Structures are given as structure tokens and as C-alpha cells.
A and B are shown apart, each in its own frame.
Chain A
Amino acid sequence: AQSVTQPDIHITVSEGASLELRCNYSYGATPYLFWYVQSPGQGLQLLLKYFSGDTLVQGIKGFEAEFKRSQSSFNLRKPSVHWSDAAEYFCAVGGRDFNKFYFGSGTKLNVKP
């Protein structure tokens, strides 16, 4: 069955510290992988996506993610977190049929000054 697991519900980091948000997926075919960010009261904004090719993908706002097929993971990273990064982050997986995308339950990021 297709699914996405984000094991960390809440994460708190200090401003300027590095960040890694975990995402594991289960998908029966070649996955398309996405990270979205949601600010309070807003919709989801696409941070980055992976379809094929280089397993390290760069996104907006200084985020990057690495696809590791052997671990079924697509972790999101940022070298230095800014206070404005405080939000909820969702990992998603989809496939070529585009019938549906599966989302994880999200990770809420809190940034300490």
C-alpha cells in the first residue's frame, strides 16, 4: 500500500542551526516525491520535487532533499534555519498515473531565537 511516514510530529531548532526533516515512503512504482510547506491559515507551497536523475534536489528558500531508494527516504534539509521557516512541512509521494498523491501527517517546525 502507498503511504508516507513523517516520524517527527514536532521539531524545535535554534535559529541558525541545521535542520533535517525525515520522510519515508512506501510506493509500488517509481515514485515522484515532493516537499510542501504550510504556514498557518495558508495553503501548501511546493518547496521541491524529485522525479528522476540527480538524487539531491535543490528547492526554494535554501532547502534541499536527498532521495535514497535503498532506504525509501526523502529527507529535507537546510544548513541554517531562519525564524521565517517556522511552519508545517509535508512530504508527499505520487506516481505517473497522477490519480492521487499521498501525504504524510506533517512535521511542525518551531524556530527558537
Chain B
Amino acid sequence: NAGVMQNPRHLVRRRGQEARLRCSPMKGHSHVYWYRQLPEEGLKFMVYLQKENIIDESGMPKERFSAEFPKEGPSILRIQQVVRGDSAAYFCASSIGQDNSPLHFGNGTRLTVT
């Protein structure tokens, strides 16, 4: 049973370019979460999605960041016009969204903005 799959593992972008991070949840999971981890910091919640719906995006920066979880295909976290401060590890997690269901994490995408 494959776990949460994130790609790419490493992504390098120049300032002003766009970054697209993909996440395929565990089989049977319909709830996806995106977290950002800055160096020497913990995980910061960004957004929580279910299929075709954004449930909670209170942790998303107001500009340049967007997320989707279409009916078919992976969840996408999109960062437009990246800046150096966007450099971080971005983790996706999934769950079945019921009681007693913890988050299962992917191995993350490490974004470097040069």
C-alpha cells in the first residue's frame, strides 16, 4: 500500500518563476493537508483540502500561493513568482478524515529559490 507520494523531491527555481508541488495521497484517503517547514522551525499549517474543495486555507499566504485537489489526479500546491523567502520544505499529508485517523506524511519537496 503506497504511502503519500510527493514530487519532485527537490525543486530549484529562480526568483519570479513558478513552482508546482504535487501530492498523491494514500489510497483511500480523501483529505489532504499542506504544511511548510522552514529551517529550525516546526511545521506550519497552510491548507486543508478534500476532493474538489478547499476546506481551510487560513495558513496560506494571501498572494502567490494556491492549492487544489481535483477530482482526478494529485493535489497541487502552486507558488507563483517565487521569492527567496519561499525556500522551505513543503510537506503533504493525508488522512481518511474520520475519528482515530492520524495524518500520514510524504517525504516532502524541498524548494530552493535562487
Q: How large is the interface on A (under 10, 10 to 19, 20 to 34, 35 or more residues)?
A: 20 to 34
0 or 1 for each of B77-94: is its CB under 8 Å from A? (1 = yes): 000000000000001010
Q: Which of A6, A34, A43, A92 has the most CB of B within 10 A?
A: A43
Question: Does B45 contact A100, Cβ atoms closer than 8 Å?
Answer: yes
Interchain pairs with CB closer than 8 A, number: 59
Give the segment of A61-69, A70-78, A79-87, A103-111 that binds chain B.
A103-111
Question: Does B105 contact A101, Cβ atoms closer than 8 Å?
Answer: no
Residue in contact with A34 in the complex, picked from B48, B59, B99, B102, CB distance below 8 Å? B102
Question: Does B41 contact A100, Cβ atoms closer than 8 Å?
Answer: no
0 or 1 for each of A22-63: is its CB under 8 Å from B? (1 = yes): 000000000000101000011111100101000000000000
Residue in contact with A90 in the complex, picked from B43, B48, B55, B95, CB distance below 8 Å? B43
B103 at the binding interface (Cβ < 8 Å):
yes
A102's nearest neighbour on chain B, judged by CB, is B45
Question: Does B31 contact A98, Cβ atoms closer than 8 Å?
Answer: yes
A42's nearest neighbour on chain B, judged by CB, is B107
B21 at the binding interface (Cβ < 8 Å):
no
Q: How large is the interface on B (under 10, 10 to 19, 20 to 34, 35 or more residues)?
A: 20 to 34
CA distance A106 to B42 in the complex (A): 6
B100 at the binding interface (Cβ < 8 Å):
yes
Binding site for A on B (CB under 8 A): 4, 6, 31, 33, 35, 41-45, 48, 55-56, 58-59, 91, 93, 95, 97, 99-108
Binding site for B on A (CB under 8 A): 6, 34, 36, 41-46, 49, 51, 90, 92, 96, 98-106
- Listed by A's residue number, 30 A-B pairs whose Cβ atoms lie within 8 Å are A36-B105, A42-B107, A43-B4, A43-B6, A43-B108, A44-B91, A44-B103, A46-B102, A46-B103, A46-B104, A51-B100, A90-B42, A98-B31, A98-B48, A98-B95, A98-B97, A98-B101, A100-B33, A100-B48, A100-B58, A101-B33, A101-B45, A102-B45, A103-B35, A103-B42, A103-B43, A103-B45, A104-B42, A105-B42, A106-B41
Going nearest first, the 5 A-B pairs with the smallest beta carbon separation are: A105-B42, A43-B105, A103-B43, A44-B105, A43-B107
